[in-house]
Chains A and B, each alone.
Chain A
């Protein structure tokens, strides 16, 4: 047994093991840099640098270093440098481990004059919020580069597949709830194009549609998506330009068709009142689409609504009803309506645009469903795999929550909000960015320096600090560095500070120092030895050196 241990010690402390470990380490790093170049920093970290096998290689190096010293004990004077170097390396390793284990490395975003104390860390978490109970649960997601099944369950909510790098693809999915026939819930996908640009867009009236809405603006043009049953009335060019819509019957009619007279109220606004079923309905169509009750209050959610086309004549407005379109032609002062056939372009009166109905569904829900991909990074920018998504399985239905789209569900009558975010840390003090200063290189827009003036609020009261490149702020164990900045549309600058706690720092510095001094010592000892044997030929010297080792 004792013999075996010596043998193991000799192998681990031996040169062959050291060279194998060093080679593995170098190979791992080479793969890592190429991964980083192709797939981005995050992916390289997740698949190489911060994986268990790369950690294992580093542990192997530690073992090799420690045993290399062990097998060369008891201490010999000529190896003093060697001992120091190897002890330095072990110290650096220990410091790195402490940083990894107990350190904090995050970032703090400071929008102008907005206090913040949330530090964003790098771990991905799922936050489940129960707003009614004021409760938040968070789950740490696996640190992986590829699609992984999480497989955890919490109160009937199953965490399914996690995609750390995903792209969203357009899909029609089946509706999850049941509806009656009069419930309008159709959706359509269109494209507009002229010689210069082409754009696809999807509009939906489906209550389950999360990713698509019923209105859209494209430059000066506003697109409205309305129920199909409203379409027949739009091309009618009735003089009042008013349309009434009965939701319960899914039908539209004009006041002229029903002989409803339009009066003028004292305010000058148009006014109409008529019997509808057993009720008297009153509308101020230029004020609200909803009817007014006797108290002259708007009745939101009523089944009968009015629509005044005059409101949409000034600016370009396009009305789409699934397979029908309508718009106002200003030159001819009239409204026109067209049927849309799938794939057949319809010329619009604006900038030579053609409109095409690409897809239509009465009941299916249009959605962007994430799919796991290999990310791609170009010029320091992620061009593929930008989204992180997690599948949630609730009562047999599957939902996708992404970092850019939280999901809200009703589970057993309780509201539950799911969001995918980075783990955060709340500081025991608060920052406000009071001023952000940026100098530019003369005559250009390139930043020459950027500096943050912050006010720090602690229990002892506020204090002002100036943080800039190479001048961090140290406060109660945290160090804050000027990391980057961003600018919003109004030209206001936000500053990003990187936040750091590093318990391993003294060890890394000490280890580095030992490494440098050890190397000097080592070569000085060698140099002295060589000097003593100066008369020897180079060949002999080389042989001797080899002997000594």
Chain B
């Protein structure tokens, strides 16, 4: 296939007049740098981010994101292409607004740009910040970006004049003179002009975008997920502990690589958006469970770590609507690597440790309902839940204090009843209540285990709920917003598990 594209591209330029679909838009363009969203990144990353934002997918028919992006940009030079990108219209009222036929939930971006003024009027008209207005604003943004791409203004290319780099639209860079000149020596003059300039840029300025390009190509998140799942299978299905342990170490290495790359690319601690916190908590929890499991000589920690890590990796790979892996510049107040890497890391590690207790508590609840658990098993597991709980709660407490110190250092106040800090304190208070109750035998194992399983909901609220439910305002989220739905389902499933399993244990008791 690639060969075919290459061939037709060559043909196009030798025959000149003959129009082919892909012109010079090849996948290798993905490695060239582009400056967008406040930083320099490979075109591969940018094209994928935009395609995802515009259409929800990272490719178009047989074309990759880079090819699609390139072809759309070429429309500005009058080179037509039969690409018809469609933006998703999830909001029911928005579907009505566009008179979409029954069952159709997309609108061509090309026609969306014609609706910009109508949409703007609609947005201006509605006074409330409701879900429809939000949907319209998203569509407006998508239309604006699509327009920017197809007018050639989105693809900013590094043009060097002496020592200075100007990021100019590619269409402005590819002047007729340059192409004519290149045509004398190359059969692919466009690519030659582009890559010659990129080479100059890389020699004189930076090759950081190449690191990111190679990193993206490695697909570490999906590889890590496969390895973790294999480790989990080795542990639970095939009962091969050594295999499981080996694969766990491999996961740790892969995730460490993933984190390191992100640190190198962004130049900051890898815990600044939802995606990174999920990644780091999964990694931290697995690491912690391997360490604790080693000293305690208990396999159950490996199980907890792998199980939770698998959950986080699946979220990272599949819940891409909710967790975006884009690397974007930080808001100024967070730009302090020391505090980021102490305060946030502690908090996220505590979430990871508490997640271990949550995993084991739920496993015990389900096992107990299925009837594979003796009384001493329950005590044994409760003891380990208690261990992870202790670790998690201490780290959470330390993280909250560090956050207070950071806030005092940056704003002059320890505590401001900000929802994020308040919810982490709520979670801490809930875990403290459980720990105290258990410590003084007020909470027996029978109640302790479902309480631990349920208490993790407060962590989920502090972690995701504050961003996905509280921040947007409760009445403003639509069903297209994955975060709120995810969280709602989580709470529902967890509650159902607790209710179902508690019923069972009561009948056993009776």
Contacts and interface: CB of A to CB of B under 8 A. Distances in A.
Interface of A: 15-16, 18-19, 22-23, 25-26, 29-30, 32-34, 36-38, 41, 44-45, 49, 96, 99, 105, 196, 377-379, 383, 440-444, 446-450, 469-470, 472, 479, 481, 483, 498-500, 502, 505, 508-509, 512, 515-516, 519, 523, 537-539, 541-542, 545-547, 549
A542 B443 CA distance: 13
Contacts, number: 162
Interface in B17-64: 35-40
Contacts of B127: 383
Nearest to B416: A41
A539 B380 contact: yes
Given A196-B121, A449-B335, A498-B412, A30 B417 contact: no
B422 A15 contact: no
B437 A19 contact: yes
A549 B441 contact: yes
Nearest to A502: B412
A523 B432 CA distance: 15
B432 A512 contact: no
Contacts of B476: 378
B428 to A, nearest CB: 9
Interface stretch (B75-83, B173-181, B184-192, B465-473): B465-473
A515 B397 contact: yes
A447 B379 contact: no
A441 B380 contact: no
Given A15-B442, A470-B336, A538-B383, A37 B470 contact: yes
A519 B329 contact: no
B51 to A, nearest CB: 20
Interface stretch (B251-259, B271-279, B403-411, B492-500): B403-411
15 contacts: A15-B436, A26-B433, A29-B423, A38-B474, A41-B417, A196-B121, A441-B329, A444-B329, A448-B335, A502-B413, A515-B397, A515-B401, A523-B390, A523-B394, A541-B383
B433 A469 contact: no
9 nearest A-B residue pairs (beta carbon): A441-B38, A500-B412, A546-B441, A378-B129, A37-B470, A549-B440, A441-B329, A444-B38, A22-B433
Interface string B411-439: 11111010100110110011011001101
A34 B471 CA distance: 10
A108 B442 CA distance: 51
B401 A516 contact: yes
Contacts of A22: 429-430, 432-433, 436
B303 to A, nearest CB: 17
B411 A498 contact: yes
Q: Is the interface of A mostly helix, strand, loop or mixed?
A: helix
Given A19-B433, A33-B422, A470 B409 contact: yes
A450 B332 CA distance: 8
B313 interface: no
A29 B410 CA distance: 24
B467 to A, nearest CB: 11
A30 to B, nearest CB: 6
B394 A30 contact: no
Contacts of A196: 121
B448 to A, nearest CB: 10
B261 interface: no
Contacts of B220: none
Contacts of B332: 447-450, 469
Nearest to A509: B405
Per DSSP, chain B at the interface is: helix
Nearest to B439: A549
B319 interface: no
B430 A26 contact: yes
Contacts of B394: 519, 523
B504 to A, nearest CB: 22
Contacts of A443: 35-38, 156, 167
Given A33-B470, A512-B405, A539-B376, A469 B410 contact: yes
Given A378-B473, A442-B39, A542-B383, A512 B404 contact: yes
Interface string B458-500: 0000000010011111111000000000000000000000000
Contacts of B410: 469-470, 472, 481
A49 B413 CA distance: 15
Contacts of A481: 410-412
A391 B137 CA distance: 40
A472 B412 contact: yes
Nearest to B444: A546
A509 B430 CA distance: 24
A23 B473 contact: no
Given A29-B426, A377-B473, A37 B419 contact: yes
Contacts of B429: 22, 25-26, 29
B87 to A, nearest CB: 23
Nearest to B470: A37
B119 interface: no
B112 interface: no
Contacts of A537: 376
B398 interface: yes
Interface centre among B36, B40, B440 (most CB of A within 10 A): B440
Nearest to A25: B429
Contacts of A37: 419, 469-471, 473-474
B382 interface: yes
Nearest to A520: B394
A18 B436 contact: yes
Contacts of A440: 38
B15 interface: no
B333 interface: yes
Nearest to A500: B412
A500 B38 contact: no
Contacts of B414: 96, 99, 508
Contacts of B422: 29, 32-33
Nearest to B298: A538
Given A442-B35, A512-B404, A515-B401, A105 B412 contact: yes
Contacts of B408: 502, 505, 508
Interface string B365-398: 0000000000010011011000000100010011
A33 B418 CA distance: 8
Contact of A383 (B129, B335, B441): B129
B412 A542 contact: no
A36 B419 contact: yes
B168 to A, nearest CB: 11
A446 B331 CA distance: 8
Contact of B437 (A15, A444, A509, A523): A15
A186 B433 CA distance: 68
Contact of A23 (B129, B411, B433): B433
A448 B329 contact: yes
